[in-house]
């Protein structure tokens, strides 16, 4: 798959399927996944560890793509991400930047308000 927007759509679908293997396979070996309020995860081992904290506890995940644009191999997504964690549903507006290289994600940066996540995750 070489179309950067198609790569990102397939990646979002893998999250929604909660398919950790497909999510990991979408990254290059040297990829960087950076949730901007936190430290970046560099390389697939670090990304796998981060996924264990985010994806594993979720019983359902939805990435609603509100807007998507691409310039060459860079794809921007305005999304509303929803994570079902037990009885809680965390709804998080996100702006994501994906850099695609050779049909895989070389960099993923998500910009969001960490306080919004924390408040909902703690039941507030």
Number of domains present in the structure of the chain: 1
CATH at residue 105: 3.10.450.50
Mean pLDDT of the chain: 94
DSSP 8-state assignment for residue 23 = H
Catalytic residue numbers, as ranges: 81, 110
Residue numbers of the domain that contains 42: 4-121
For 8-45, how does the pLDDT look when each residue is reduced to its tens digit (9 = 90+)?
Answer: 999 999 999 999 999 999 999 999 999 998 999 999 99
The pLDDT of residue 121 is 84
- Whether the Cβ atoms of residue 112 and residue 95 lie closer than 8 Å to each other: yes
pLDDT single digits (tens) 74-102: 999 999 999 999 889 999 999 999 999 99
Separation of alpha carbons 119 and 45, rounded Å: 29
């Amino acid at each position: 798959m070489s179309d950067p927007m198609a790569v990102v759509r397939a990646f979002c679908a893998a999250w929604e399927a909660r398919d950790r293997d497909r999510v990991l396979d979408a990254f290059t070996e040297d990829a960087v996944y950076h949730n901007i309020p936190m430290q970046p995860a560099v390389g697939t081992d670090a990304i796998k560890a981060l996924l264990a904290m985010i994806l594993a506890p979720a019983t359902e995940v939805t990435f609603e793509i509100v807007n998507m644009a691409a310039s060459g191999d860079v794809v921007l997504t305005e999304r509303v991400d929803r994570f079902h964690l037990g009885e809680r549903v965390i709804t998080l507006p996100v702006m994501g930047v994906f850099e695609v290289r050779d049909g895989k994600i070389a960099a993923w940066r998500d910009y969001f308000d960490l306080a919004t996540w924390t408040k909902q995750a703690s039941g507030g």
